[in-house]
Amino acid sequence: MRLGIIGLPNSGKTTIFNALTGSSLETAAAAGGRFEIHTAVVNVPDKRVDRLSALYKPKKTTYTQVTYVDIAGLDKGVGEGGIKGQFRNELAQVDGFVHVVRAFDDDSVPHPYETVDPARDVEILDNEFLLTDLVTVETRLERIQTEMRVKGRNISAATSSENEVMQLIKAHLEEEKPLRDFDLTDEQEKALRGYGFLTQKPVLLVLNMGETAVDPASVLTYAHRDSQIVGLQGKIEAEIAQLDPEDAELFMTEYGIHERGADKVIRLSYELLAIQSFFTVGEDEVRAWSVPIGATAPEAAGAIHSDLQKGFIRAEVMTYDDLIAGGSESALKSAGKFRLEGKEYVVQDGDIVHIRFNI
């Protein structure tokens, strides 16, 4: 899971990166158009993992993880002619975006467009991504049209179908609508996956607020699919991320912070990708695993190891809530809440799974 952190210059993008990852990068804004990336991997906070670890006391505890990529160089005009090269590749390869939007006033950090206006800033980068996707579609359509002229009736059904889809999404983009809002069949979505369309990727809008927290809904609305809005006091959160746990707790108490906002953003980032967690437990390790929502038991087995999926027989399943309520596996078995599931079983968030297999 790889998420790109994007934003206009002086939005506090790198501050948010530091808050989420515990990094200590310099926060001076890069000039617009300058390509620079920084990467960090973070654990996804999950109290269920903590509780299971306390119950089993394993030698090792492993959380699911998200990779954040701090991508500098985005500004108005960067999409003219389409974003290209390594810059385009990096944006295309992430699974979604964390779009940092400035919502704080600070005379020492001038806004590139003079005033703080979150809606305007969101629209600027949205338009750059729309333009880049439109250039990609038009370029592909030109090549398809050339192929159709050359091959005539011998054109493949796949190419003909792709032409139809490209024409439809071209019209959609020309209406200044992101591809997240376009209804694609599973087959169409699979065919377009290789293009890495930027407006098709889910987006978490992070309002970077000052020392006074505000309700994000009162600042910005964003009526698009596969998107969420969350507020974060970036500067404060970045300071907390640099402290050891005891000092961080004291700091949070002083500011009346009950939970790190960064932890919430990380969880929302994870949920944004339409994935869920299941667990494996034991004396050696308690571990959280990620699978797409709707994954079957064999697919979950494959997330652990490909051999488990190949030799899948059955899955022993209990739920986290049942285990915590019952207190032990033996209690669940006695209560009839320890189940054997087959290949058609759809894994649920919070399932605790043991795979039976034979190679």
**Residue 266 neighbours by CB under 8 Å, 6+ apart:** 20, 42, 44, 45, 66
14/5 Cα distance (integer angstroms) = 8
Sheet holding 285-292, edge to edge: 60-62, 285-292, 275-280, 351-357, 312-319, 339-341
pTM listed for this prediction: 0.89
Helix (H) or strand (E) holding 168, with range, is helix 157-174
Average pLDDT, the chain: 90
Domain ranges of the chain: 294-357
pLDDT tens per residue, range 174-192: 999 999 999 988 888 887 8
**Overall residue count recorded for the chain in this entry:** 359
Phi-psi category of residue 226: left, alpha or beta, with phi > 0 → left and psi -120 to 50 → alpha: left
pLDDT tens per residue, range 250-303: 888 887 777 788 888 988 988 888 899 999 999 999 999 999 999 999 999 999
Q: Which CATH architecture has domain 294-357?
A: Roll (3.10)
Report residue 154: phi and psi, to 5°. -85, 5
DSSP helix/strand/coil, 277: strand
121 or 252, which is more confident: 121
302/148 Cα distance (integer angstroms) = 41
Two tokens at 206? 């992070």
pLDDT tens per residue, range 315-358: 999 999 999 999 999 999 899 999 999 999 999 999 999 999 98
